[in-house]
Amino acid sequence: MGIFEEPKIDSHCHILDPNGFPYSPEVAYRPSGQETGTADYFKSVMACYGARHALLVGPNSGYNLNNACLLDAIERNPALFKGIAVVPNDCDEKTLAQFKEKGIVGVAFNYSLNGLAHYANIEPLLQRLKKLGMWAQFQVEGDQLPSLLTLIETTGVNLMIDHCGRPDLKGNATASPFESEGFKAMLALGQKGLAVMKISGYAKFSKEAYPFADVAEVAHLLVKTYGLDRCIWASDWPYLKATPRLDYGPMLQLMERDFTLNERKHLFWETPKALFGF
């Protein structure tokens, strides 16, 4: 069995369908061309590469707080998709519970885009997510994570970290990027069992072009620290703002380069299946 046939759950991808679901007027970035893809087209992509389920993430680009496109994809394909929504910071418990009934398993918090100050008062929202058994999905970069550790430990919310935590791999002449405060905080979360790590988004933090040779060490260290029962693979399709072009197949082949068949069995299938109830 080749890697394309191995059963998979894609744990981070987006549906962007501006023809069927026009973008929100206030968004700063409006994806177009190869950055877009309907739910029906993505189902065809999944079928080509052995992806049997997917966790769809509501994108800040294009839709932001408008979850209509995401909810439509799940409603029409409830056995195939679950979702992560984008909601206001004061979203109430009733609304979250309604989202949960519609196949939404959590909420996205994009610190790398919006900054730390934007989410300064989200502790009540995280408490509501914990009460409902839902996930908080944090996308951080560089050294944003250390200031969030107290909040994470205080709330005890089910937490996912996007895209390997987007560490700063530039480093400098005297320090390794693995010695940065942000990376140390990521490892601390894994050592304490406080988060699930998405092994994804290589193009977002690598300082090299494909095949992103500098990322392999990061991915291995995160999987070793978090454990296979708390790490999951994701494609990040359709690669918003990617330069140059990225494709599903070549990105999957990086997993074959970096992980054994047994490791991939957990990252692709067993762990996300257990975590998200597919």
Does the residue 3 lie in any domain? no
Find the DSSP H helices in the chain.
39-48, 68-76, 93-101, 111-114, 123-131, 149-155, 181-192, 202-205, 216-226, 248-258, 261-265, 271-276
Q: Biggest alpha carbon distance in the chain?
A: 53
Q: What is the pLDDT along the chain (278 residues), one digit of tens a residue?
A: 799 999 999 999 999 999 999 999 999 999 999 999 999 999 999 999 999 999 999 999 999 999 999 999 999 999 999 999 999 999 999 999 999 999 999 999 999 999 999 999 999 999 999 999 999 999 999 999 999 999 999 999 999 999 999 999 876 545 677 889 999 999 999 999 999 999 999 999 999 999 999 999 999 999 999 999 999 999 999 999 998 899 999 999 999 999 999 999 999 999 999 999 99
User: In the structure encoding, which two tokens stand for residue 34, read together?
Assistant: 């190869």
**Could you list the residue range(s) of the whole structural domain that residue 264 is in?**
8-276
Q: Taking the complete model, does pTM exceed 0.85, yes or no?
A: yes
Per residue in 140-193, pLDDT (tens digit) is 999 999 999 999 999 999 999 999 999 998 765 456 778 899 999 999 999 999
Distance CA(182)–CA(164), nearest Å, equals: 11
Domain containing residue 30: CATH number: 3.20.20.140
Per residue in 243-269, pLDDT (tens digit) is 889 999 999 999 999 999 999 999 999
Does the residue 1 lie in any domain? no
Does the residue 224 lie in any domain? yes
Does the residue 42 lie in any domain? yes
Does the residue 2 lie in any domain? no
pLDDT for 243 equals 85
Distance CA(178)–CA(47), nearest Å, equals: 37
Distance CA(59)–CA(201), nearest Å, equals: 14
Contact criterion met (CB below 8 Å) for 181 and 146: yes
Does the residue 60 lie in any domain? yes
Q: How many domains does the chain divide into?
A: 1
Distance CA(216)–CA(254), nearest Å, equals: 9
Does the residue 171 lie in any domain? yes
Query: Which H or E element spans position 55?
Result: strand 51-57
